[in-house]
């Protein structure tokens, strides 16, 4: 199984709280092994499906990297209901999402807890896709770039003492108002945010920045051609093999 170079575009599917074991089997059976090797394809699956995703991808020789959707910042301990980065690494998971807006909005994730989780995952040897994005009121009051900076600052502080971890970090810019709504940011908005994020992390070598929020085959070409965009983080359109495959193909 060939894997894409780190500089390749990334197409990451975020399955959120969807799918059963049987659905994983049929998804991988129809995904096919002919994915273009020059695209870094990721699936971020629920914890219960990680082992089946790993074994189905291996069985069908599909070059896809399996990610979790979150991890705790401690290695082990009395944290009922949590999973550590070390545990993910132990089963062969490649990386994890951290700080998704649903974690921030629905489960009390803060800029500090998200940074701690991301740093712990990087220290454990996992790759991280760290998610940031403004709400509609924040955008409408002109606060987009300062919100993004605040969301990144604790992570930047942590990386400053461990800059060797930075090459395994990607950032996903996902305007909260565009997630699952059918609304997408326009190219000028996407570009402004992506270039600002690259600048925040410039001292480590700028990370790849993915766009997320209602990405689908119909709008992905335009998004990918926007300056500063290195790929996509995709919810709804990653659940069906046909649309996911189409997004991967558009990224070549
Ligand atoms: P969506 O979700 O593509 O369904 O808008 C994106 C995400 O939440 O990562």
- Ligand 1, pocket residues at CB < 6 Å: 14, 174, 179-180, 212-215, 233-236
pLDDT tens-place string over residues 135-146: 999 999 999 999
Catalytic residue (choose from 72, 102, 174, 194): 174
pTM attached to this predicted model: 0.97
pLDDT band at residue 1 under the 50/70/90 scheme: low
Instruction: Tell me whether residue 174 is one of the annotated catalytic residues.
Output: yes
Going by pLDDT thresholds of 50, 70 and 90, the confidence category of residue 46 is: very high
**DSSP letters along 170-187, please?**
EEEE--GGGTTTS----H
Instruction: Write out pLDDT tens, residues 204-247.
Output: 999 999 999 999 999 999 999 999 999 999 999 999 999 999 99
Specify the residue with its C-alpha closest to ligand 1, atom 7: 235
Which of 170, 172, 215, 231 has most ligand 1 atoms within 8 Å of CB, for mutation? 215
Task: State yes or no: is 100 an active-site residue.
Answer: yes
Q: What is the pLDDT of residues 92-135, one digit of tens each?
A: 999 999 999 999 999 999 999 999 999 999 999 999 999 999 99
Q: How far apart are CA 145 and CA 103, in angstroms?
A: 20
Is 171:232 a contact under the CB 8 Å cutoff?
no
Report d(CA 22, CA 117) in Å as an integer. 31
pLDDT of residue 155: 98
Q: Among 22, 44, 2, 21, which residue's Cα sits nearest to residue 244?
A: 44
CB 44 within 8 A of CB 11: no
**Chain segment 48-82, per-residue pLDDT in tens:** 999 999 999 999 999 999 999 999 999 999 999 99
**Residue 2: its pLDDT value, please?**
53
- Cα 162 to ligand 1 centre (Å): 30
């Amino acid at each position: 199984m060939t894997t894409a170079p780190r500089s390749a575009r990334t197409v990451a599917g975020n399955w959120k709280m969807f799918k059963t074991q049987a659905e994983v089997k049929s998804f991988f059976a129809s995904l096919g092994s002919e994915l273009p090797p020059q695209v870094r394809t990721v699936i971020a699956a629920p914890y219960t499906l990680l082992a089946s995703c790993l074994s189905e991808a291996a069985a069908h020789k599909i070059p896809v990297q399996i990610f979790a959707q979150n991890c705790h910042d401690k290695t082990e301990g009395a944290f009922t209901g949590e999973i550590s980065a070390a545990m993910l690494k132990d089963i062969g998971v490649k990386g994890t999402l951290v700080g998704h807006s649903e974690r921030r909005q629905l489960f009390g994730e803060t800029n500090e807890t998200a940074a701690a989780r991301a740093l712990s995952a990087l220290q454990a040897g996992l790759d991280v896709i760290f998610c940031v994005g403004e709400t509609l009121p924040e955008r409408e009051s002109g606060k987009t770039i300062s919100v993004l900076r605040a969301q990144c600052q604790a992570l930047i502080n942590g990386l400053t003492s461990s800059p060797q971890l930075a090459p395994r970090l990607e950032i996903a810019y996902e305007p909260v108002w565009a997630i699952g709504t059918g609304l997408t940011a326009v190219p000028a908005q996407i570009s402004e945010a992506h270039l600002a994020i690259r600048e925040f992390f410039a001292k480590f070598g700028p990370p790849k920045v993915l766009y997320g929020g209602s990405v689908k085959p119909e709008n992905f070409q335009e998004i990918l051609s926007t300056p500063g965009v290195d790929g996509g983080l995709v919810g709804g359109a990653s659940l069906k093999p046909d649309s996911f495959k189409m997004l991967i193909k558009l990224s070549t």
